């Protein structure tokens, strides 16, 4: 394969001293078989182990190895964004250094995007992960799909490639809390998926514990859905309804002279109505706040896929 284009590998690293040398080695091996210009854009997300030292040592003899060091741990989403901002390639391929998505798949990504796509997502045939993680992942993406309405591909892998046009669009997104997969779907354009084989993490440990995954899920939901706000409005309405039914029932029972201890049921009925009204109006206020939030993010209003005869 010969290609007169440059590909930037965006690689976030956070305490990856155990895998980074191996990663560079395997990448070089895989890339030797593809004739293409490339650069590595490593983004260190505030590691305090030997990760940066190892990368810098490699960079001494190889100008294709670039490193951006964030001043403290910003989280993977920001690290990847920094990498995309610094990359100069025609194609940008984003991957983790743990070799779960293996370098030997890279040439297939290039072949696929050369067909004229703007973004190619890797999806895994089977996830090489333990039972709990695997099912948790499934649940995570399932809930996201439901809440956000984003048509994310199933069994998403980490490895994905996109072109310069797509990267420039991504850079226009200035929001602070970002959920990258969501932004990718929001950009749209011509997308494709590629099935890849996965390996186990080469060494070291996953940095995404349950708490971090939950954080990401909430970020994604708040970023791409107003459902939680609408929930308050709906719940408020349901409460009002229940309260009214309770009061009507009490009045009915009294009218037909059914004897029961009076007093507290009517108080409860009134209480439910009052709670419902409050929840309802808090929900309405929240919907306005949601709109302000959306405006504040300043997302581009539209994403053009292609133009004809326009310079
Ligand atoms: N990572 C990061 N900042 C963080 C946590 C993780 O840049 O705060 C990087 C990490 O170095 C790795 C990638 O994000 O390259 C994915 O992390 P990991 O492999 O631990 O997650 P998993 O594949 O288990 O979801
Ligand atoms: Mg991993």
Q: What's the pLDDT at 290?
A: 85
Distance 118 CA to ligand 1 centre (A): 25
Ligand nearest to the CA of 23: 1
Q: What is the mean pLDDT of the chain?
A: 87
**Closest residue to atom 15 of ligand 1, CA basis:** 96
pLDDT recorded at residue 175: 81
Higher pLDDT pick, 207 / 16? 16
The stretch 85-100 carries a mean pLDDT of 94
Residues with CB under 6 A from ligand 1: 12-14, 16, 45, 73, 75-76, 79, 96-98, 100, 206-208
Assign 308 a pLDDT band (cuts: 50, 70, 90).
low
User: What's the average model confidence in pLDDT over 45-60?
Assistant: 92
Give the strand pairing for 35-44 and 2-13.
Answer: parallel
Q: Averaged over 179-195, what is the pLDDT? A: 91
CA 106–ligand 2 middle distance (angstroms) = 17
Closest listed residue to residue 59, CA positions, set 47, 76, 42:
42
Give the residue whose CA is nearest to atom 20 of ligand 1.
Answer: 206
Residue 128 confidence (pLDDT)? 64
Confidence tier at 129 by pLDDT (50, 70, 90): low
If you average pLDDT over residues 198-206, what whole number do you get? Answer: 81
Q: Please choose from 80, 208, 215 the residue to mutate so as to test ligand 1's pocket, defined by most ligand atoms within 8 A of CB.
A: 208
**% the chain with pLDDT above 70:** 94
pLDDT at residue 234 in the model: 93
pLDDT at 72: 87
Of residues 198, 129, 186, the one with CA closest to residue 159: 198
**Which atom of ligand 1 is closest in space to residue 158's alpha carbon?**
23
The model's confidence at residue 31, banded by pLDDT at 50, 70 and 90, is: very high
Least confident of 48-57, 87-96, 132-141, 289-298: 132-141
Q: Under CATH, which number does the domain 3-224+304-308 receive?
A: 3.90.550.10
173-184 average pLDDT score: 85
pLDDT tens digits for 133-170? 777 777 878 877 887 778 888 888 899 999 999 999 99
CB of 197 closer than 8 Å to CB of 108: no
**Domain residue limits, the chain:** 3-224+304-308, 227-297
What's the CA-to-centroid distance between 99 and ligand 1, angstroms? 12
Q: What is the pLDDT of residue 300?
A: 75
| pLDDT score for 30 | 92
Which is the closest atom of ligand 1 to the Cα of 44? 7
Q: Is 100 in contact with 201 (CB distance < 8 Å)?
A: yes
Instruction: Judge contact between 161 and 91, C-beta under 8 A.
Output: yes
Q: What is the pLDDT of residue 38?
A: 94
**Residues 11, 20, 59, 44, CA torsion sign:** positive
Q: Which residues surround ligand 2, an ion (CB under 5 A)?
A: 96, 98, 100
Ligand closest in space to the Cα of 69: 1
Cα(300) to centroid(ligand 1), Å: 28
Q: Which of 14, 93, 209 to mutate to test the pocket of ligand 1 (most atoms within 8 A of CB)?
A: 14
Q: What pLDDT does residue 297 have?
A: 80
Is a pLDDT exceeding 90 seen at residue 309? no
Kindly report the three-state secondary structure assignment for every residue of 245-291: HHHHHHHHHHHCCCCCCCCHHHHHHHHHHHHHHHHHHHHHHHHHHHH
**How high is the pLDDT of residue 67?**
92
- pLDDT of 125 higher than 70: yes
Q: Which of 49, 55, 53, 47 is nearest to 9 (CA)?
A: 55
The pLDDT value recorded for residue 44 is: 92
């Amino acid at each position: 394969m010969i290609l007169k284009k440059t590909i930037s590998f965006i690689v976030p690293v956070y305490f990856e001293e155990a895998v980074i040398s191996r990663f560079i080695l395997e990448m070089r091996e895989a890339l030797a078989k593809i004739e293409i210009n490339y650069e590595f854009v490593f983004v260190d997300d505030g590691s305090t182990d030997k990760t940066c030292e190892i990368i810098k040592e490699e960079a001494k003899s190889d100008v294709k190895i670039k490193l951006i060091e964030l001043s403290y741990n910003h989280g993977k989403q920001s690290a990847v964004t920094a990498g995309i901002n610094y990359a100069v390639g025609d194609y940008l391929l984003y991957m983790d250094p743990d070799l779960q998505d293996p370098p030997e798949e890279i040439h297939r990504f290039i072949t696929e995007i050369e067909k004229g796509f703007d973004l190619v997502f890797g999806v895994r045939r089977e996830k090489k992960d333990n039972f709990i993680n695997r099912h948790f992942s499934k649940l995570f993406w399932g809930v996201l799909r439901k809440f956000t309405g984003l048509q994310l591909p199933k069994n998403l892998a980490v490895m994905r490639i996109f072109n310069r046009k797509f990267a420039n669009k991504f850079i226009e997104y200035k929001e602070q809390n970002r959920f990258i997969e969501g932004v990718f779907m929001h950009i749209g354009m011509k997308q494709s998926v590629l099935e890849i084989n996965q390996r186990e993490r080469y060494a070291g440990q996953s940095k995404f514990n349950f708490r971090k995954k939950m954080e990401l899920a909430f970020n994604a939901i708040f970023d791409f859905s107003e459902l939680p706000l609408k929930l308050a409005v709906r719940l408020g309405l349901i409460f009002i309804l229940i309260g009214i039914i309770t009061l009507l029932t009490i009045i009915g029972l009294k009218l037909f002279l059914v004897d029961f201890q009076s007093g507290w049921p009517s108080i409860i009925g009134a209480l439910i109505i009052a709670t419902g009204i409050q929840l309802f109006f808090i929900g309405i206020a929240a919907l306005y706040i949601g709109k302000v939030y959306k405006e504040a993010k300043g997302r581009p209003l539209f994403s053009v896929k292609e133009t004809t005869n326009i310079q």
